[in-house]
Structure 1
Amino acid sequence: MSSDGLRSSSSIQPSPDSRVRSAADRQTGDNSELMRSARFRKEREADWQRLETLVLRAERNGLQRMSFAETRDLASLYRQATTSLAIAREISLDKALLGYLEALTARAYLCVYAPQQRLGGLFQRFMTEGAPQAMRRSWLYILLGFLFLGLGALAGYLLYFENTDWYFVFMPAELADGRGPDATTGDLRSVIYGHETGTTGLGAFATYLFSHNTRIAIFVFGLGVFACAPAIVLTFYNGLILGAFFALHADRGLGLDLAGWLSVHGVTELSAICIACGGGLKLGAAVLFPGDRSRVAALRHAGHDAVKLALVAALMLVVAALLEGFARQLVQDLSSRIVIGWGIGAIWLAWFTLGGRRRN
């Protein structure tokens, strides 16, 4: 081989001395990085430990039980830790230090900025402010829910008197047997003022009506987002059942008696249906008429109040179940039934109209 080839070959292959120097340089760089991380940590470690202590105390006891000085230090040290994290990322310190700072700042963030109310406080705020304010903001949609239910009841009532066969069209088959146009007036009266608690008579109807109305409430809220139509149809259909059933008793001169029987739990239960319908309509209106917002943004904005309406409806259905299970059976006097049902309705109305108003 020529001398030029030998020189060329030797220039390609690094010498043992250069390889040793390269390894030494890498070792020096690693040592320098470790020293820099150690120095960075040593200068700030006391503040991090203090922050970690305050975070543990806040997580265990809550900010309410911490002193003013501790909460002030928590906020200040949190800001310092976020600055340290940004610097550590910028100068590429070791991963262990970065992981520690990321975890610490995330926990501190939750302590400083996350809501500090416990479940009881959130429930109290919902009952005193959130729910009634959402009801007032959504009054038009709730009124529409009452309107569709009322129109359905009126249609069922009038169609029954046009042709009694409509009763079997609207009324579920499992409840129509024995309580249709062929039933005697005495039989209808006996179940209104009877003490039966089994699965016959109006007890069965009340049980079915509650479970049926609960499903309706869920559906009218959940399906209202689809252009409002399902919520309107289901609420109207629920009114058809109520109207036909009331017409059957009114035809026998028992309309007022049935109204008293229904008032005990029906005022609360049917109002819950209309409120759930209002929530569904509000979601559907946000999709149909988003205004200046995008449909997603409009739906998100409407959802804040709509969800509260759904929670109010659920609460009212629970109360209606208690009234149906106890007061309906224990109270047999017509006037007392009306007073109980509409009195509780007045309490709901007072809560919705007066709750959460700020005093000037």
Structure 2
Amino acid sequence: MDIDAFVAAHRDQWDRLDQLVRRRRLSGAEADELVGLYRAAAAHLTRIRAGAPDPQVISEMSTRVAAARGRITGTRELSVHEALRFWTVSVPAALYRLRWWTVCVALVEVALAVLVGVWTLRSPEAMSALGTSSELADYAGQQFESYYSTYSSQEFAALVWSNNARIAVVCVAAGITGILPAYVLYLNAVNLGQAGAIMADHDRLGLFFALITPHGLLELTCVFIAGGAGLRMFWTLLAPGPRSRAVALAQEGRALITVAVGMAVALVVAGLIEGFVTPSPLHWALKCVIGVLALAALWAYTLVLGRRAVLAGETGDIVEEAAGAVAPEAG
């Protein structure tokens, strides 16, 4: 195909399509014309992709066809009711269905962190592998605590949120692999255990818990939830149950997107606590109370609203009309 000749031959049609898409109001005849030009443009895009895959032309045509499709089908506006339903039904239902995965991941993570910490503390070779004596002393005496006051509270909260959100997204998005979320969780536990061992070796274990507890309770729970969500996705791939594997993965995948959105908000709260509460001059006991209350709020949200939603038949998946039609299944 001569792509230049093809573009020149159909340019008038495409320009007319662009004009109709931009118009705020269309007559009946213009609406029919828009549909016809959209179908023609979609066919042209298919021909270009097959016969002359020019990236620039394909990008231009893809944008044009998408804009025309949006004008024809319209956009679905999110109502206040739908937003309220999402946060009071869909998110807690998805979190509730993950509660045992979350608990299991948390138990394994904590056990692994303690094991790594004790082993590092009792093994001179393992401790020396983390740095020289002066480096470890500097870490325990200055770096660990100063980490929370290096940046301004606003910058630090944003930095913490972006880092933790990245970990959560990796666990959820790559969950189908099974390996990547497990590896991320493993590294998280090892780093936590090693940091605790260094602080304990320099008689600063109390400071370690005082600094990580306010934000860490909520932050680590979010990581556990994300890890559990990713591993559940992997388990769905292995054992889809009565559903077909494709349908099971689609349903669970959409529910995990709901989890990811919920965790993004929870991690904002954890980031604010770490940015504003942890380095503040408040007494450490009050800081820990704030952390405990934040964690309790998340679990109350999950167990109270989530249980109610699940008993009503909710799964955290999007509503049926938004999910699209699926082929019927036997059984």
**What is the TM-score normalised by the length of structure 1?**
0.58
1:221 and 2:172 aligned:
yes
How far does residue 211 in structure 1 lie from its aligned partner after superposition?
5.1
How far does residue 181 in structure 1 lie from its aligned partner after superposition?
3.4
2:98 matched to which residue of 1?
138
Question: Is residue 148–residue 236 contact of structure 1 (8 Å, CA) maintained in 2?
Answer: no
**CA 1:191–1:148: 2 relative to 1, 3 Å:** closer
2:85 matched to which residue of 1?
125
**Alignment partners' CA distance in 1, 2:161 and 2:210:** 17
**Alignment partners' CA distance in 1, 2:133 and 2:76:** 56
Residues 56-71 of structure 1: matches in 2 within 5 Å?
none
2:121 matched to which residue of 1?
161
Instruction: Please tell me the root mean square deviation across aligned C-alpha atoms, in Å.
Output: 4.0
**Alignment: residue pair count:** 250
1:255 and 2:205 aligned:
yes
**What is the TM-score normalised by the length of structure 2?**
0.63
Report which stretch shifted further, 154-163 or 206-215: 206-215
1:293 and 2:243 aligned:
yes
**CA 1:208–1:246: 2 relative to 1, 3 Å:** farther
Q: Deviations over 1:217-263 (max 9, x none)?
A: 2221122101x222112102101101111122223332232212111
**Alignment partners' CA distance in 1, 2:240 and 2:164:** 30
Runs (5+) with no aligned partner, structure 1? 1-55, 60-94
2:324 matched to which residue of 1?
none
1:197 and 2:144 aligned:
no
Letter aligned with residue 213 of structure 2: S
1:316 matched to which residue of 2?
266
2:219 corresponds to which of 269, 272, 287: 269
2:252 matched to which residue of 1?
302
1:182 and 2:137 aligned:
yes
**Alignment partners' CA distance in 1, 2:265 and 2:199:** 30
**Alignment partners' CA distance in 2, 1:205 and 1:248:** 23
**Alignment partners' CA distance in 1, 2:106 and 2:211:** 20
* Identity %, equivalent residues: 24
Letter aligned with residue 218 of structure 1: V
**Alignment partners' CA distance in 2, 1:206 and 1:166:** 32
- Relative contact order (C-alpha < 8 Å, sep 6+): which is higher? 2
Report which stretch shifted further, 129-138 or 244-253: 244-253
**CA 1:283–1:309: 2 relative to 1, 3 Å:** same
2:32 matched to which residue of 1?
99
